Amino acid sequence: MPIRWTTAMLDLPPDTLDETLAFWLRVTGSALSPWRGEDDEYATLVPPDGDDYLRVQRFADGPRVHLDLHVTAEGRDPDEAVRAELVRALALGAALEHDAGGHVVLSSPGGYVFCLVRHTGHARRAGAVPVAERARDGDGAACALVDQVCLDVPADRFDDEAAFWPAFTGWPLDPRATGELVPLERPAGMPLRLLLQRLGADDPRRETSAHLDLATVARPAVERAHVQAGARLVARRERWTTLLDPSGSPYCLTARDPSTGRAPV
């Protein structure tokens, strides 16, 4: 399979970058790498263990979350491998947004921006991170893990997205999924899985966007820790809690096992 690793990029505007980045570093227990790029526009959130899979970009048109898919060369020149996956993505309905040589920027049939990049050997998935507060409803530290990119898909574009992503990644749709939430079955060890969420017909969004999901079995304690770190509560539902980070971007705490990504039995 050519897709060997997934990375989420936090595209943050300058006016909220410092506060938002500090928030995500705190709640993920990460350290910040040195800035890199021609204008020092990129940095990596280095996890306490495992290989990195969260990064940040100074981006004037943010905030947003985009996905980087790491393409393995499989005996080919790395750039040729990226080009081959570009051709395949275009044939499946993606559109080319920018060709940077070493990586390419595309948009999905529903308009979601993602990148194809060279795989550089990442293989060790990070573990869940304890929050400062201990769970009040159980023993041990409350833990959470950013482990999912949820694609928020307008209803009239859902079928196109649900056809594109399994075909391109090779990850099948979960056959047990029902309703508006349909996850893809990621390969073992992949840091980020993909979830397709069908938006309601009354939702004003016309293109697919994305938000991050964290898996935790101790949502109340993790929610308190995130609010203390600077998040704002939006809503509590049966299976997830929606918050806003300091940039105003939504994300969710979801009732799932961080080690498997699935709802606990």
How is 181-227 classified by DSSP, letter by letter?
A: EEEB-PPTT-S-EEEEEEPPTT----S-EEEEEEEES-HHHHHHHHH
Q: What is the CA radius of gyration of the chain?
A: 18
Instruction: Report cis status (omega within 30 of 0) of the bond before 63.
Output: yes
Pairing of the two strands 209-216 and 141-153: antiparallel
Does residue 139 carry a pLDDT above 70?
Answer: no
Does residue 133 carry a pLDDT above 70?
Answer: no
pLDDT average, residue stretch 91-97 = 98
Residue with token string 């990195």: 52
Residue with token string 């060709």: 99
| Helical pair 14-28 and 219-229, crossing angle rounded to 10 deg | 140
How many residues are there in the chain?
265
- Report the pLDDT value the prediction gives residue 77, as an integer from 0 to 100: 85
pLDDT average, residue stretch 229-235 = 98
Quote the CA–CA distance of 18 and 242 in Å, as a whole number. 22
Does residue 150 carry a pLDDT above 70?
Answer: yes
- Report the pLDDT value the prediction gives residue 190, as an integer from 0 to 100: 97
Residue with token string 């940039």: 247
- Report the pLDDT value the prediction gives residue 137, as an integer from 0 to 100: 47
- Report the pLDDT value the prediction gives residue 135, as an integer from 0 to 100: 43
- What tens digit of pLDDT does each residue of 171-219 get? 999 988 888 999 999 999 999 999 999 999 899 999 999 999 999 999 9
Does residue 65 carry a pLDDT above 90?
Answer: yes
The mean of the pLDDT values for the chain is 93
- Report the pLDDT value the prediction gives residue 75, as an integer from 0 to 100: 78
Does residue 134 carry a pLDDT above 60?
Answer: no
- What tens digit of pLDDT does each residue of 109-131 get? 999 999 999 999 999 999 999 98
- What tens digit of pLDDT does each residue of 30-59 get? 999 999 999 999 999 999 999 999 999 999
Quote the CA–CA distance of 170 and 1 in Å, as a whole number. 7
